[in-house]
Structure 1
Amino acid sequence: GGGGGGGGGSGADLSPFHTIVQTNFQIIAYTNSELHFRMIGLFAELETILPNAIVALITRRAFLAALEDGITGAQILTFLENHAHPKTREKRNHVIPETVREQLLLWEQEKDRVKYSPSTMYTFSANSGMTTDKFDELVEFAHDSFVHLWSNPDKLTLIATSPQGHNDPIM
C-alpha cells in the first residue's frame, strides 16, 4: 500500500491522523504528531508510543478527568469519528463500537447524577419551644417552597436549600 510522505517544513502539522477504536476501549492512533498524542491523552491513558502510532486506553478515570476539564462525551466521540481510519469506515457501520459509545455516555451520566447546592441545617430542641406539630408545619412549608432536602422529626432536624436567587434562611 502507498501512503503520502511527510515533507515540507512549514511548521503546520499536516501529518495524517487516523484512529481505530476497539471494543476493549483501546485506541490505535496512526500519527507521528505530538499534538495528536496530547489530544488522545486528554481522555485516554497512553500505553505505547511507536514512531508512527500510539496505543492508548480509554479508562473511566481518564474520561472523567476530560469531563472535569470541560470536554463533553459527544466531543470525544465526534473527534474519534472524524479521525476514524478509512479501513474501519469500510468494514463497520459504526466506526466506534457501540459498547464503547454506550459506556462513555454512561460514565458521563454518572458524573451528572449528583448535584450540589448550598444548604443550611436547622436543629431545634423542645427546650427552645419547638414542638412536633410546629416542626411538621415547618417541614411542610419547606416542601411547599421547594427548599426541603431532608428532615428527621425525631431529632427535630431539617436541611433546606436556598431558593434560586434568594439567600435568606427560612427561619
Structure 2
Amino acid sequence: MSVGMITRESVRGALQHGITAAQIISFLRANAHPQCIATSGAINCLPITVADQIRLWEDERRRMDLKDAYIYSHFESEDEFQGVCDYAQERGILLWANAQQKLVIVNEEGHEYVRQWYKRSKGGETTA
C-alpha cells in the first residue's frame, strides 16, 4: 500500500518548478486507483475540494507581485502632484497614485525619469 500526502508546501514546490495546478490535478486523476475510477468516475475520483484547494494554492502565488518602487510624497502644491502623476502616467511608469494623500509610486526604472522631469520643472533645483 502506498500513501501520499498533498501539502501546501509540496504544491508550492511544484508550482515554483513551473507545474500548474491543472497539471497536478490532471496527473492525480490520471493516476488514481482503478477502483476509485470505477466507483466515482475519472473526474470525481479526485474530490472537488482537493482540486479547489490546489487551485487556491496556485492563485495564492499570483495574488501579489512585488516590485522595487519609489514613493513620492509631500508635494509643495496640487499642480506639482498632478504634474508628477501626469508625467508618470504618460511614460507608463506609474504604479499607483492617491490624490487625497498626494502620494505617487513609480517603478524603479521610472525614478530617474521623474527626477529629471522634476529638475526641469523646477528650473535646475534637485530636491526630489
Give the TM-score normalised by structure 1.
0.53
SS at match of 2:10: helix
Relative distance call for 1:86 and 1:99 in structure 2 (3 A) is same
SS at match of 1:54: coil
Larger radius of gyration: 1
> Structure 1: which 5+ residue stretches go unaligned?
1-52
Q: Is the 8 A contact 1:80 1:96 kept in 2?
A: yes
For 1:143, which of 85, 89, 100 is the aligned residue? Answer: 89
Q: Is the 8 A contact 1:120 1:159 kept in 2?
A: yes
Aligned 1:20-169 pairs, distance under 5 A: 53-93=1-41, 94-123=44-73, 126=76, 131-151=77-97, 157-161=103-107, 169=113
Q: Encode CA deviations 1:45-65: one digit per residue, 9 max, x unaligned.
A: xxxxxxxx3323212222112
Distance 1:160 1:105 in 2: 32
Distance 1:145 1:107 in 2: 35
How far off its partner does 1:125 sit?
5.7
SS at match of 2:96: strand
Q: Whose strand proportion is higher, 1 or 2?
A: 1
SS at match of 1:121: strand
Q: Is the 8 A contact 1:162 1:169 kept in 2?
A: no
Whose RCO is larger (CA < 8 A, sep 6+)?
2
Distance 1:101 1:154 in 2: 43
Q: Whose helix proportion is higher, 1 or 2?
A: 2
How far off its partner does 1:104 sit?
0.8
Percent identity reads 30
How far off its partner does 1:160 sit?
0.5
CA RMSD of aligned residues (A): 2.8
How far off its partner does 1:108 sit?
0.6
Distance 2:97 2:69 in 1: 13
